[in-house]
Amino acid sequence: MIRRILIRRVLWSALIGFASVIAVSGISADAQVNPVLLLTPTVPPTATVPLTATPQIVLHIVRRGENLFRISLRYRTTIDAIMALNPGITDPARIYVGQQIAVPVGGGANIPTRTATTIPPTSTPTLTFTATATNTPLPTDTPTFTATVTETPTTVTITPATSIPSGATALPPTYSVTPSSTGSGGTYVVQVNDTLGSIAARFGVTVRALAEANNITNYNLITIGQRLMIPPPGVVPPTNTPTPTRTPTDTRTPTITPTPSDTRTPTNTATETPTLTPTITPTPGPTLIEPVSVGLPFDVGGQVYSFGYPEHMQAAGMTWAKSEIRWSQGQSAEIAANAIAAARSLGFNILLTINGVPAEMAADPAAYTSAYVAFVGEVAALAPDAIEVWEEPNNPDSWGEDLISPADYTDLLRASYQSIKLANPNVLVISGGLLPTDQFDGRCTANGCDDDAFLTGMAAADAGTAADCIGMHYTTGAVPPNVSVGDARSNPTHHSRYYPTMVNLYATTFPGKPLCFTEIGYLTGEGFALVPEAFAFAENITLENQAAWLAEAESLSRQNGRFRLFIVYNVDGAIYNDIDAQAGWAIVRPDGSCPACAALGEN
C-alpha cells in the first residue's frame, strides 16, 4: 500500500541544498524600486544622535522565478546570512512572490563612513532631522543619503560604498535616538529585527501605549518600513471597561460555519494579551450546535507552495489558499506571518495546516503537546481564517511511532480548539485530515491506524465537539468521482478507492458535522517521462482526467450540502521523483498551463 508520507514529508530534508533552486517556481523580472525614506524623529536639544551604520543591507522584493539560492548569488551572500536577518523564514525553500526580504550585500564591500554628531544645547525646545533621497529608481552606482538637521547648521552626509543591484530597495541607515524623559514623541520607521517591545523600551513608553497610538491590535505583527507614531513618555492610554453585564451566548444561525456555544462570562477588561498556557488534560468540550446541511457556505481553494499563480487560482474559482507549517518547539507564531500576509495581499482567505515534529513529541509527549496547544493559540491571534490541527495523525511518519491513538489526538484537538477560540473565536478549526490507507488491516495500533478505524476512535472520543469541521484527505483516486467500482488495485472495495465511499464514511461517522476537504486531488504523470513505481495507481490518468474529475468532485461536494471547504491538492508543487510526486498532483503544470483551472472555473 502506498504510504502518503512519501508525498510531502521528505520534501526538503534531503533536497534542501540541491533542490531549493527548483522548489519555488516562478520569480524573475527585476523591478525598479525607490529607496525607502526614514522618518523624522524628534530629539531633545542636548541629545547625542549616533548614526548606526547598516549600509550593506537591502530590502529585496521577491519576484517570479526567484528563490533564496538565486537571491544569495545575486547579492554575493549566503542563504544562512539571509535567513539570519529574516526570522520569519524558517524553510529556505518557501518564499513568496511579493515578499519583502532583508538581504546583506556581500563581496567584501567597504563599510560606508558614518559621522555621529553631538548637537550643542540651544534654546530650541526640539530638534528634528530628516533623511532624504531623490524619488527615482535606485541607481546601480553609489547612492548618497543626506541627513539634515533643522535649525542647526550641521549636515551629515552618508555615502555608502556598496553598489546595490537594480530591483532592490536600500534600507536606510538606522538612527538610534536617545529620548528625553520630557520628550514630546515623534515618529519611527521599523527596522530589521525590531519588535514592538524593543521599540517601546527604546523610547521609554509602554507597549500598550505604542500599540494604541498606531491602532495596532496584534502586538506581534509589525513590518519593516512601517512608520510608527511615538507617544510622549508617561502617557497611559485609558482603560476600556466594557459593560459588566455582558454574558455572550452564541446565537448564530447554524447554517454558517458551526461554532460551539460559549457560556463563559468574560470580565472583558481591556488589558495586554495574556500568555496562553493551556494543558493537554482532557476537559469536557463546549456544546456543539449541529449544522443543517442546507445553506452551508461552500468555498474552493488550493494548497500552495509559492503563492506564485494567483491568476490561475482565481480562474479556478478559488478564494482560499492553504499553506503548511512545520512547527518545532521554541519557534514563535511569527513563522506563520508570511503565509498569512501573502494570502491577504492577493485577496485569498488562508488555511494554515500546523504540523508538529514527531521526534520532538516522542521525547516528551506531555510537554510537547502542551507547547503545541499554546502555539496554535498564538497563531490564531494573527487572524488566519482557518487552522487544521496536525494532519494525518494516524500515520506513524506524521505523528510518531508508538504514540498513535485517536483518543490522544482528540485530546490534543480539543485543547487546541479551546486555545484557538480563546485567542480568536472567528478562526475555523478543522480536525487533521487522515491518511487514507488499508495497510494496517483495519486495525488501530500505536504504530499505525487505518483511517476508518482511527475515525471511529475519534468519534468515540467525541471529536465532533472539538472542531468546527472534520478534515478529509482524498488524493489517491484512480477513477472518476461518480463511480464506486472499477479500481484496478488490490482490495478494490476499500473505501479509500472511491470518492462516494470516502464521503459516506465521514458523513456517517460524524452525522450532521460539516466536512472539509483539506486535500483532494488526482495525480497524473502526463508531461513527465514516467510515473514513479510508488504511484503506479495513477499510470493511466491524463491531464484531461485530472481536470474533469476535479471539476466533477467539486460539483458533487457543493451539491452534497455537508462540505464547507474544497481544497485542491495542489496548485504549484515542483518536485517529481521516485519518492515524492507533488508536481504530478499540481494543477499548474511545468509549462505554466492549467487545464483544471478552466474546468473548475466553469462550476
- The per-residue pLDDT for range 232-273, each reduced to its tens digit, is 876 544 433 333 333 333 333 333 333 343 333 333 333 343
pLDDT band at 223 (very low <50, low <70, confident <90, very high): low
The predicted-structure confidence for 125-149, as pLDDT tens digits, reads as follows 333 333 333 343 444 443 433 333 3
Q: Spell out the residues 6+ positions from residue 41 whose beta carbon is closer than 8 angstroms to its own.
A: 128, 129, 175, 177, 186, 187, 188, 230
Of residues 307 and 199, more confidently modeled: 307
> Which stretch, 5-9, 293-297, 330-334, has highest mean pLDDT?
330-334
Residue 72 belongs to a domain: no
Residue 54 CA to residue 79 CA, distance in Å, equals 19
In this prediction, residue 237 carries a pLDDT of 47
Q: Which of 304, 290, 300, 264 is nearest to 98 (CA)?
A: 304
Residue 541 belongs to a domain: yes
In this prediction, residue 128 carries a pLDDT of 36
In this prediction, residue 233 carries a pLDDT of 72
Residue 394, H or E segment? none
In this prediction, residue 267 carries a pLDDT of 35
In this prediction, residue 305 carries a pLDDT of 95
In this prediction, residue 537 carries a pLDDT of 96
The predicted-structure confidence for 521-559, as pLDDT tens digits, reads as follows 999 999 999 999 999 999 999 999 999 999 999 999 999
Residues 390-415: what's their mean pLDDT?
Answer: 95
Q: Is the pLDDT of residue 55 over 60?
A: no
Q: Is the pLDDT of residue 163 over 80?
A: no
Residue 13 belongs to a domain: no
Q: Spell out the residues 6+ positions from residue 124 whose beta carbon is closer than 8 angstroms to its own.
A: 45, 151, 152
Residues 148-166: what's their mean pLDDT?
Answer: 38
In this prediction, residue 220 carries a pLDDT of 54
The CATH number of residue 450's host domain is 3.20.20.80
pLDDT band at 193 (very low <50, low <70, confident <90, very high): low
Whether residue 523 contacts residue 2, with contact meaning beta carbons closer than 8 Å, is answered with no
Residue 100 CA to residue 214 CA, distance in Å, equals 22
Find the domain containing 499 and state its range.
Answer: 294-601
Q: Is the pLDDT of residue 54 over 60?
A: no
Residue 559 belongs to a domain: yes
The predicted-structure confidence for 464-498, as pLDDT tens digits, reads as follows 999 999 999 999 999 999 999 999 998 999 999 99
In this prediction, residue 574 carries a pLDDT of 93
The predicted-structure confidence for 78-122, as pLDDT tens digits, reads as follows 888 888 888 778 777 777 766 778 888 864 333 333 333 333 443
Residue 152 belongs to a domain: no
Q: Is the pLDDT of residue 219 over 90?
A: no
The predicted-structure confidence for 169-187, as pLDDT tens digits, reads as follows 444 333 333 333 334 468 8
Residue 160 CA to residue 158 CA, distance in Å, equals 6
The type of residue at 239 is: T
In this prediction, residue 564 carries a pLDDT of 98
First to last CA, the chain: 34
Count structural domains, the chain: 1
Q: Spell out the residues 6+ positions from residue 471 whose beta carbon is closer than 8 angstroms to its own.
A: 388, 391, 430, 431, 432, 433, 434, 516, 518
pLDDT band at 77 (very low <50, low <70, confident <90, very high): confident
Q: Is the pLDDT of residue 123 over 80?
A: no
In this prediction, residue 126 carries a pLDDT of 36
Place of cell 464521503: 503
Place of cell 521599540: 199
Least confident range from 129-138, 222-231, 346-355, 433-442: namely 129-138
Residues 174-203: what's their mean pLDDT?
Answer: 61
In this prediction, residue 98 carries a pLDDT of 66
Residue 185 CA to residue 296 CA, distance in Å, equals 50
In this prediction, residue 292 carries a pLDDT of 36
CA distances from 259 to 134, 183, 398, 515, 518 (A): 53, 48, 28, 14, 19
Q: Is the pLDDT of residue 212 over 90?
A: no
pLDDT band at 288 (very low <50, low <70, confident <90, very high): very low
Residue 144 belongs to a domain: no
Q: Is the pLDDT of residue 425 over 60?
A: yes
Residue 484 CA to residue 581 CA, distance in Å, equals 25
In this prediction, residue 166 carries a pLDDT of 47
Least confident range from 36-50, 96-110, 496-510: namely 36-50
Place of cell 474544497: 566
Beta strands (DSSP E) in 133-204 are 145-149, 155-158, 168-170, 174-175, 186-189
In this prediction, residue 595 carries a pLDDT of 98
In this prediction, residue 411 carries a pLDDT of 97
Q: What percent of the chain has pLDDT over 70?
A: 64
Report helix, strand or coil for 548: helix
How does the average pLDDT of the chain come out, rounded? 74
Residue 471 belongs to a domain: yes
In this prediction, residue 187 carries a pLDDT of 84
Q: Is the pLDDT of residue 328 over 90?
A: yes
In this prediction, residue 521 carries a pLDDT of 98
In this prediction, residue 295 carries a pLDDT of 52
In this prediction, residue 455 carries a pLDDT of 98
Residue 131 belongs to a domain: no
Q: Exposure pattern of 434-470 as b/e (b: 16+ CB <10 Å)?
A: bbbbbebeeebeeebbbbbbbbbbbbebebbbbbbbb
